Amino acid sequence: MGYPAEAPTKEAELARQLWSIARDFAPAVLASSLSAEDMVLTDAIAREGLPIGMFVLDTGRLHGDTLALVERIRTRYGLDPEVFHPDPVAVVHYVRENGRDAFYRDAELRQRCCEIRKVKPLRRALAERRAWITGLRREHSAARSGLPAREHDHVHGLEKFNPLASWSEDEVWSYLRRFEVPYNPLYDQGYRSIGCAPCTRPVVAGEDVRAGRWWWEAASKKECGLHVAAEPAGAR
Element housing 107 (H / E): helix 107-114
Q: Which entry of 113, 114, 199, 224 is annotated as an active-site residue?
A: 224
Active site residue 224: yes
Q: Which long-range contacts (CB under 8 A, 24 or more apart) does 222-225 make?
A: 222/141, 222/143, 223/143, 224/111, 224/114, 224/118, 224/119, 224/195, 225/111, 225/114, 225/115, 225/118, 225/119
Q: Which long-range contacts (CB under 8 A, 24 or more apart) does 140-148 make?
A: 140/193, 140/209, 140/210, 141/208, 141/209, 141/210, 141/219, 141/222, 142/219, 143/220, 143/222, 143/223, 148/232, 148/233
Task: Report d(CA 73, CA 120) in Å as an integer.
Answer: 25
Which residues carry out catalysis? 224
